[in-house]
Amino acid sequence: MTRHIIVTGASRGIGAAVARHFLSLGDTVVALSRSGDAPEGCAGSFAVDVASSQAVNEAVKAAIAEHGPVDVLVANAGITRDGLAMRMSDEQWRDVLGTNLDGAFYCARAVLSSMIRARSGRVIFMGSVSPFYGVPGQANYAAAKAGLVGLARSLAREVASRSITVNVVAPGFIETEMTSELGATSEEMTALIPMGHMGGVDDIAGVVGFLASNSAAYLTGQVIAVDGGLAMGL
Ligand code: NDP
């Protein structure tokens, strides 16, 4: 059966790979991003800043009106604005919290009533190993991604009786535009990965696909690190 799947941050990187994964299964995929770009084959795309609750509500409402209840939300949109905490501006802090944490909450809130009515659904947040590992310069990002864990676990308990699962995928070091600017830091980070290399976007898309599948129906409130062993045990 074709599922209605909303993927945020689907214009490139991990989100685009997630969207392509579901498209390959024949699902109806609606993409959200600031640019509105989306992989070929998406049923819809919206140019939306996820940090705006009004914009998110309007886009999700339009998607539901056209494609029916949302079966799966992948709240993946994210940014970094790195800097040492003592020099971090209010704007750097707020931008990162706004997109990574507020945005994920707004998207989840917008889809939940349709999932509750349908008595099924999957909410998947794109976290990070950053809060477990501790990365200097990422106080804003780590706080936002740690916040997703609390958000996911509270939501998971709120909606579990309706057969809705809520989980966090926590990527390690994945080759995308986000990590392309790291230069020497990238080599230092790679040296810490037990598997010895960065992950690819499809490594994440496969795990998201599993969480959205029937095989993961009894899996909720969990954080799944996909990191080549980088943060194991943390
Ligand atoms: P990219 O920078 O390649 O892509 C980010 C995506 O998010 C783009 O589609 C971008 O589209 C969208 N986006 C950013 N801000 C907003 C916004 N305010 N509203 C709507 N869409 C937005 O990043 P990645 O693919 O690498 O990262 C995807 C997710 O995975 C993020 O949440 C990131 O934190 C997480 N992650 C990534 C890791 C990595 O190593 N790459 C490691 C751990 C976590 P547009 O610019 O058009 O808005």
Each residue of 117-128: pLDDT tens digit?
999 999 999 999
Which residues partner with 47 through β-bridges? 33
pLDDT of residue 187: 82
In eight-state DSSP terms, residue 100 is I
**CA dist 207 → 75, 80, 103, 116, 215 (Å):** 14, 23, 22, 24, 11
Q: Is the pLDDT of residue 12 over 70?
A: yes
**CA dist 98 → 29, 52, 143, 148 (Å):** 24, 8, 11, 12
Ligand 1 mutation pick, 7, 8, 12, 201, max ligand atoms within 8 A of CB = 12
- Residue nearest ligand 1's atom 18 by CA: 49
- The amino acid present at 14, given as its one-letter code, is I
Helix ranges (H only) for the chain are: 13-24, 53-67, 90-97, 103-118, 130-133, 139-159, 177-180, 184-192, 201-212
Ligand 1 mutation pick, 20, 33, 82, max ligand atoms within 8 A of CB = 33
What's the pLDDT tens digit per position in 193-234? 999 999 999 999 999 999 999 999 999 999 999 999 999 988
What's the pLDDT tens digit per position in 54-94? 999 999 999 999 999 999 999 999 999 999 999 999 999 99
Six-digit token pair at 108? 């989840």
Which residues partner with 44 through β-bridges? 30
Which ligand 1 atom minimizes the distance to the CA of 99? 18
42: nearest Cα among 26, 54, 65: 26
Over range 34-57, report the average pLDDT.
98
pLDDT of residue 188: 82
Which residues lie with the beta carbon below 6 Å from any ligand 1 atom? Answer: 8-15, 32-35, 37, 48-51, 76-79, 99, 103, 126, 128, 171, 173-174, 176-179
What's the pLDDT tens digit per position in 156-194? 999 999 999 999 999 999 999 998 877 667 788 899 999
First-residue to last-residue Cα distance in the chain: 38
- Residue nearest ligand 1's atom 8 by CA: 9
Q: Is 233 exposed, middle or buried (0-12, 13-18, 19+ CB in 10 A)?
A: exposed
Interatomic CA distance for residues 167 and 165, integer angstroms: 7
Interatomic CA distance for residues 147 and 101, integer angstroms: 7
The answer to whether 141 is a known catalytic residue is: yes
Q: Is the pLDDT of residue 10 over 90?
A: yes
Interatomic CA distance for residues 3 and 22, integer angstroms: 9
pLDDT of residue 180: 86
Determine the distance from the C-alpha atom of residue 136 to the mean position of all C-alpha atoms in its chain, rounded to a whole number: 22
pLDDT of residue 52: 98
- The amino acid present at 145, given as its one-letter code, is K
Q: How far, in Å, is the centroid of ligand 1 from the Cα of 176?
A: 9
β-strand pairing of 72-75 with 223-226: unpaired
Which ligand 1 atom minimizes the distance to the CA of 50? 19
Over range 29-52, report the average pLDDT.
98
pLDDT above 90 as % of the chain: 92
Which ligand 1 atom minimizes the distance to the CA of 14? 25
pLDDT of residue 184: 62
Which ligand 1 atom minimizes the distance to the CA of 8? 21
